[in-house]
Amino acid sequence: MANSTTQKVQDTTNKTAEQAKSAVSTGADKAKDMAHNAIDRTKDAAQAGADKARDLASTGYEKAKDVAQAGWDKTKDAAQNAGHMATHATESVGSGIESLAGTIRDSAPREGALGNAASSVADTLERGGRYIREEGLGGMADDLTGTIRRNPIPSVLVALAVGFLLARATRS
């Protein structure tokens, strides 16, 4: 009887051990599955966060690019408008000088030293007005640049003299 009781206890112990082993194995498998699921969810959340950050950065970049382009377009338009206004003003000044030449020619005597001087002044004003009207600021800048390149030393001396006179005029 002792053997049969010992056998029953041993069988029960073995059965309990196997159940415990099975429970531990099942628990470990569940824990492992839960850990893998948590890792997968974490990876998915991290990827979603990275995608969201990338989308936001891309959207921010696109918005900044659009704002910069709009600013550039406005600046370019303003510069073009200023250029058109300067061209129009230059043409008006040239026409005004030509008109002044015509007025001098009409008002001055036709003969004598005064007539010759008035005619010479009117001719010079007329040529200058036509030059300003036809060449505009760009043509005058090109001509000035060419003159400076052809005559560098006199140009520097003139610039120094103008600077000296401006300094004297603003100091007093």
Residue 163's pLDDT is 93
Residue 150's pLDDT is 95
Q: What angle do CA 57, 60, 63 make, to 5 degrees?
A: 150
CA dist 17 and 19 (Å) reads: 5
Residue 97's pLDDT is 85
Total domains in the chain come to: 1
- Tell me if 169 is assigned to some domain: no
- Tell me if 72 is assigned to some domain: yes
Residue 167's pLDDT is 93
Read off the tokens for 120.
């010479």
- Kindly give, in sequence order, each residue whose CB lies less than 8 Å from that of residue 140, ignoring residues fewer than 6 positions away: 131, 132
- Tell me if 63 is assigned to some domain: yes
Domain extent, residue 42, equals 26-163
- Tell me if 170 is assigned to some domain: no
Instruction: Using CB atoms within 10 Å of the CB of residue 118, give its burial: 0 to 12 exposed, 13 to 18 middle, 19+ buried.
Output: middle
Answer whether 100's CB lies under 8 Å from 51's CB: no
- Tell me if 8 is assigned to some domain: no
Answer whether 100's CB lies under 8 Å from 125's CB: yes
pTM for this predicted structure: 0.50
Per residue of the chain (172 residues), what is the pLDDT tens digit?
Answer: 556 777 776 776 667 667 666 666 676 677 777 777 878 888 887 788 778 878 887 887 888 888 888 888 888 888 888 878 888 888 888 888 888 888 888 888 888 888 888 889 889 989 988 998 888 888 888 999 999 999 999 999 999 999 999 999 998 6
- Chain-centre distance of CA 157, in angstroms? 39
- Tell me if 153 is assigned to some domain: yes
- Tell me if 68 is assigned to some domain: yes
- Tell me if 113 is assigned to some domain: yes
For 112: left if phi > 0, alpha if psi spans -120 to 50, otherwise beta; the answer is left
